[in-house]
Structure 1
Amino acid sequence: MTSATKINPVIFIHGMWIHATAWQPWQELFESRGYTTSAPGWPGDADTVEETRRNPDAMDDIGIADIVEHYAKLIGSPETKPILVGHSFGGLIAQELLAGGWAAAAVALEPAGIKGVKALPLAQLRSAFPVLGNPGNRHRAVSLSSKQFKYAFGNTISDEESDELHEAWSIPGAGLPLFQVASANFSRHSEATVDTHLAHRGPLLLTSGTHDHVVPLKVTNEVFTMYQDGPADTEFHLFEGRGHSLTIDSGWKDVAEVALEWFATKGY
């Protein structure tokens, strides 16, 4: 890759239950390849894991549109648009920002499902139950226990590693976005809507882990199929044997290298 292809800054967008500082190893790797990076948290996130855990009320009633607007304001109107890497709900936000013209390209790692997805695998329901199981959680942030985290994120790694990741990076997650995705197909103006038929947007890479419980492969396959009806550049990558922890567990670098290589093939 030449220096001319490294001018787009990279913005990392985290998903539910994981703090933005978990992107630090990714930032260091991307910066070693010549990129400038940032990993802003969602609205309501504090600067550290500990502060965010102490103040979960700051994320009450934070929805998808609030998060998209938050990142759009951070991006502004730069001469050079950023490229995005989003995980889980961050992958959905990255798709919305790309469709809205805020970014040059995006990698959506195991992205939360968008409006139009009909698949609802049991593993996904079980992963989301700590939030969706109580309608009152729509308006507040919810934490995962280490056991819940193990099922949702750490099902392909050891108990010890899962517990370490839970302790290091897990934060309360705003409940509203999960309710918005769960009800997207019943809402005419759902905030989980993404225009998958845009002709004028940058390239998008969707990825899935074969053992993901939070966003199972079947869900991402449906999203990819929706994009196939449009003319814009959309590709898919499968991570065999990987679960939802793939951005933070011991195999994170293999995932990051896929994103780096894909950006390089697209000239970024």
Structure 2
Amino acid sequence: MQTPSLTPLEREQVDAANAADGPAVVLLHDLWTLAGSWDPWRTMLAERGFPSVAVPWPHEPASVAEALADPDAAAGVSLRDMRAAATRVVDALDRPPMVIGHCFGALVAQQLAGTGRVRATVAITPAPMKGSVQAPELMLVAAAPVLKDPANRERAIRFAYPEYRYAWANTLGVEEARELWETSHVPGSGTAVFEVARARREQRSAASVDTINPDRGPMLVVSAARDRLVPPVISSSTFRIQSRNPSPTDFVEFFDRGHSLTLDSGWPEVADRVIEYLEHQ
């Protein structure tokens, strides 16, 4: 497992968070976006009194242009690598933070919560943990650009626009979908996708989550009713599993929203609901 150190930007954000009053929010993005995709959320969080740190995954380029110029940058990055990067940030903060994650970032967020390191967790359309229900056909079709070739396990994969339109942007108009693909979608680690896909067959899976630790803290699971990459049945399964924990577990579903809900023009509604939840923790 790689052991990343804080990047200069992370150090700047961590120092600012430590200098502020109250808990910080750590933001963990999906595989096919960059840490900078959280910038609008960071602005809203700051307006509501929450400092924040957006964690880049190992070897992550600084911009979409750089990511497209170096399409193999994310190749081989595993869930353990991602968890190590997030843990490094959490441990650098003076106080246990709130954590918000999207899809694979939400899986890592739950893994952090299972260590008792965080104050509260929001898992937005979380990638399935080990023990989740079997992936429905809709999800397998959406993830096919990665899973169709076993060699993709060691590659970084970017969805072609029609694939992105189906898996991510199925609720958006044509112009917004195309713009989002061009301005935010980058190659993501095939390794992490295969780790999740094979979790049911592996006794010691990298997608395992400690869901029974009594120090987990409060958790909100967010579902998108029209998400094809993480269909509602997966988010509901995550909620049911996490509800066995003695800490409070809540659930909210956004209707007519797809996997792009943290990025598209409707993101403020999602962010407002999430921040409202954090304000009560």
1:117-266 to structure 2, matched below 5 A, reads: 117-266=132-281
Residue number in structure 1 paired with 2:9? none
SS of 2:259's equivalent in the other structure is coil
Give deviations 1:164-211, integer Å, cap 9, x for gaps: 001110000100111011110111110100111221121111010110
Moved more, 41-50 or 164-173: 41-50
- Map of 1:91 onto structure 2: 106
Select which of 85, 94, 104 maps to 1:79.
94
Distance in 2, matches of 1:6 and 1:235, equals 26
Distance 1:166 1:28 in 2: 22
For residue 45 of structure 1, the aligned residue among 34, 42, 60 is 60
Equivalent residues, number = 262
Give the secondary structure class of the aligned counterpart of 2:181: helix
Is the CA contact (8 Å cut-off) linking 1:180 and 1:192 kept in structure 2?
A: yes
Q: Which amino acid aligns with 2:175?
A: E
Contact 1:119/1:218 (8 A) holds in 2 = no
Distance 1:75 1:230, change over 3 A: closer
Identity of aligned residues (%): 35
The amino acid of 2:205's aligned partner reads S
Distance 2:55 2:23 in 1: 16
SS in 1 for 2:221: strand
| C-alpha distance in structure 2 between counterparts of 1:99 and 1:249, whole Å | 30
TM-score between the two structures when normalised by the length of structure 2: 0.90
Kindly indicate whether the alpha-carbon contact (under 8 Å) linking 1:198 and 1:232 is maintained by their aligned counterparts in 2: no
Q: How far, CA to CA, are the matches of 1:186 and 1:26 in structure 2?
A: 36
- Which SS does the other structure have where 2:223 is aligned? strand
- Residue 169 of structure 2 aligns to a residue whose secondary structure is coil
Aligned partners of 1:136 and 1:232: how far apart in 2?
41
> Cα RMSD (Å) of the superposition?
1.4
Q: 5 Å matches for 1:14-93?
A: 14-93=29-108
Letter in 2 for 1:189: R
Q: Name the SS for the 2:101 alignment partner.
A: strand
Amino acid across the alignment from 2:206: E
- Unmatched 5+ residue regions in structure 1? none
**Letter in structure 2 aligned against 1:159:** V
Query: Which deviations, in whole Å up to 9, do the C-alpha atoms of 1:31-53 show, x marking residues without a partner?
Result: 11111112121112111111122
Q: Residue type matched to 2:147 in 1?
A: L
- Whether the 8 Å contact between 1:197 and 1:232 is mirrored in structure 2 is no
Q: CA deviation at 1:77?
A: 4.8
Unaligned runs of 5+ in 2: 1-19
Q: Residue type of the partner of 1:17?
A: W
